Structure 1
């Protein structure tokens, strides 16, 4: 069990949900301080970038 990498579909879904939540929080926070306008397209882009970075770091 310790050597198992897990089901890739579950890992992808976890990465998607956590990246989207973190991206939403970051974009919302930046919009509150006036550095960025909140838009769902911005959240989606940030989540995509986070997903790619997470994938590259754990590989």
Structure 2
């Protein structure tokens, strides 16, 4: 099997940090989906009401925590 340039892939990965806008958007989408799941689960336990305000709050908290952990 011909592997071509074995250093090319490693150099490409180590030299690229990606587009920060894509990472930001991905963080927002994943935080919103996980926040909605957490609030939904809490509503099943009657610990919180499933509302847009609670989902938005959970999203902002999760987004901020993720941002702080990944950029510190």
TM range (shorter): over 0.9
Structure 1: stretches of 5+ with no match in the other structure? none
Structure 2: stretches of 5+ with no match in the other structure? 1-11
Give 4+ residue runs of structure 1 displaced > 4 Å after superposition: none
The separation in 1 between residues aligned to 2:45 and 2:59, in whole angstroms, is 20
Between stretches 37-46 and 1-10, larger displacement belongs to 1-10
Q: TM-score, normalising length from structure 1?
A: 0.93
Q: How many residues align?
A: 59
Root mean square deviation, CA, Å: 0.8
